[in-house]
Each structure stands twice: as C-alpha cells, then as structure tokens.
Structure 1
Amino acid sequence: MTKADLVDEVAALGDLTRRDADVIVETIFSGMIEALRADDKIEIRGFGSFRSRQRKPRTGRNPKTGQRVDVPAKRVPYFKPSKELRDQVNAAAARTAAPPAEG
C-alpha cells in the first residue's frame, strides 16, 4: 500500500474529497514525525508502537571498494507491532499457506 492508496481509502471511508483526505494523512504523518524527533513514543492500541533508537558508532565497510568506513552514531525509527497485529498477520498468512482440504 502506498501513501496515495491510503489517501484514497480515507477519502472513501469518510466520504471526503481526495484533497481533504490528503490533509488528514499528511497531518497524522507530520505529527508522528515530530513526536519521533522529540524522542517521544507513539503508541497506537491494536496496531503497535513507534520509537526512536540510538545506534552506536561503528566501523563499516564499503562493499564496492572494501575500504573501512566510520559510521557515526545516529537515531533510527523503530516499529514494534502489537500482539493483535501479529496475530492478524499470522492468521492471514496461515490461510494463504494452508493446503486445500481433501474430501
């Protein structure tokens, strides 16, 4: 699903114009980005939580040349799905992977 698909879904569910739906989606994403920038945790019940994690500096390697490269410390976004979301995804995967019943 792309951002445009999400905007279309919001517009269809809310009987909104595409422009209004785009503003809603942009507002939600902007709020989430600002919360992560401020090092706040975002928790959406039944979906999961977002937070930022600090990565330590390390020595990497340029795959093209093999040369060692110092990678600085940085903060990265991290998503942890809720148990409900994991269960729903696993149930959907089990339905599609199950062999047809013989009978």
Structure 2
Amino acid sequence: MNQLELANAIAQELQIGGYDADRFLKVTLEKIISTVTTNQPVELQGFGTFAMRPNAPRTGTSPATGEPFNVPARWSASFKIDKAFKERVEAVPLDQSSPTVSPGTISDIIAPGDKPYYFTVEFSDDVGIKASTIGGKNSELGELDVRVTGPNGFNQLTRATRTKTTADKKGRIVTYAVGAPGGVWDFTANGQYQIDLLEAQVSDLMGNFLSSTTVGNFNVAIPGGSGGI
C-alpha cells in the first residue's frame, strides 16, 4: 500500500472526501517529521515511537580499496514498534504454501549455432522468493536448480545467468542458459527438449520449497544437413 492508497482507505473508512483524507495524512506525516527533527520523540499508542538518535563518528573501511576512511557524526531516524502492534504482527499465521513456477520466454531453435540457448522462468510467491536459492546455491551437491533433457540422452543442468524482480517485487524472473549438444546446435540435435525444476531447490522467504516439476518444453527443428556456425 502506498500513500495514495492509504489516503483512499482512510477516506472510505471515515466516509470523507479523498482530498480531505490525503490532506489529513500529509499533515500528520509532516507533523511527525517536524517534531522528530527537533529531537522530540513522537509516541503513538498501539503503534510505536518515532525518534532520532545520534551516531558517533567512526572509522570505516572501503570495500573497493580496503583503505580506512572517516565517517562523521550524524543523526539517524528510528522507529520502535509498540508491544500491541508487535503482538498483532506475530499473530499473523505463517505462510506455508509453496511458491509457483511458470514458463517465461521459451522459444524453439530453428537455426544452427554454437551459442548457449537462453530461456526464462518465473517464480512467484505471496510473500517473496528467496533470491539466494536461485541457481542451485541451496544444493549441498552444488548442483543447479533446472535440468534440460532431450533426444539422444541429452541431460544438462542449466546455469542461471540473470535474475530480475517482478513488478510486484515478490517474484523473480530468471534467465537460464543451456549449452548445445556436442557444442553446436545442428540437425542432429533435432527433437523436443524438456525443462524441469529440481526438487527442493528454490524457496520463498518463509522456507517453503518448490517440488520438482516440468516447467516447459522447446523444440529444435534445424533443416537436415545444416552445419554449425
């Protein structure tokens, strides 16, 4: 929920106009900010306390060069959640449903070449996908999380090459790469290839893992006699 959506919810709850609700919200937030920045805490019963606190000067280390540098003293904002608010949050039932997986961009191969084949897979969840489990990092054997099988005994673990957050900020769109059989896509590789997610590799932020499943298929249909590039 963003600020506009919150203002609309207030308008509906109080049965007032949207302009009045938006103005009320903006004045309230500005009053909290202006009070806190005079070093006076704002305590909202049942919600929490807004305040600012000093941070003493310190010496940091540059991650790029390893050289020390001085960090000056500064103020920082803080929020301490109220006990009643905390108890309501902790009472929310834990999400126990597994994420879902769906095919993204999966196209057929119709021309010879020696480059990897790229396809995308989308992972979705109501809470959020744990990004560190994508690409096989969870596997004790160091295996990757998606396998491609096909004609002539083709069996290859793919590599995640790119991860992008979905529009709702909870899912991930992952680009995978699979190498060509024998190093080249040509007519000898023709046939249907199956993309499978491996068991218990990708999870959401609550630790619910996806079961193994077939994500999709692609076909290699290169004219006979075509050689590799």
Normalised TM-score (structure 2): 0.39
| Gaps in structure 1 of 5+ consecutive residues | none
| Mapping 1:36-55, distance limit 5 Å | 36-55=36-55
SS in structure 1 of the partner of residue 80 of structure 2? strand
Shift of 1:96: 2.5
Shift of 1:12: 1.1
Separation in 2 of the partners of 1:84 and 1:64?
Answer: 44
Offset, 1:82: 1.0
- Equivalent position SS for 1:70: strand
For 1:84, the aligned partner's letter is A
Is 1:85 matched up with 2:69? no
Match of 1:74 in 2: 74
Q: Work out which of the two has the higher radius of gyration on C-alpha atoms and give 1 or 2.
A: 2
Cα distance between partner residues in 1 of 2:65 and 2:20: 49
Task: Provide structure 2 residue ranges, at least 5 long, that are not aligned to the other structure.
Answer: 98-229
Cα distance change, pair 67–44 in 1 and its aligned pair in 2 (3 A): same
Structure with greater proportional helix content: 1
The structure where strand makes up a greater share of residues is 2
Q: Deviations over 1:49-77 (max 9, x none)?
A: 11111001112233344443321111111
Q: How far apart in 2 are the matches of 1:16 and 1:60?
A: 51
Counterparts of 1:1-103 in structure 2 under 5 Å? 1-92=1-92, 95-97=93-95
- Structure 1 residues 16 and 64 mapped into 2: Cα distance closer, same or farther (>3 Å)? farther
Residue type of the partner of 1:88? R
Q: Percent identity?
A: 29
Q: 1:69 to 1:3 in 2, by over 3 A?
A: farther
Secondary structure, in 3 states, of the residue corresponding to 1:54? strand
Give the direction of change, closer, same or farther, for the CA distance of 1:70–1:98 in structure 2 (3 Å limit). Answer: same
CA 1:72–1:89: 2 relative to 1, 3 Å: same
The RMSD of aligned alpha carbons is 1.8
Alignment size in residue pairs: 97
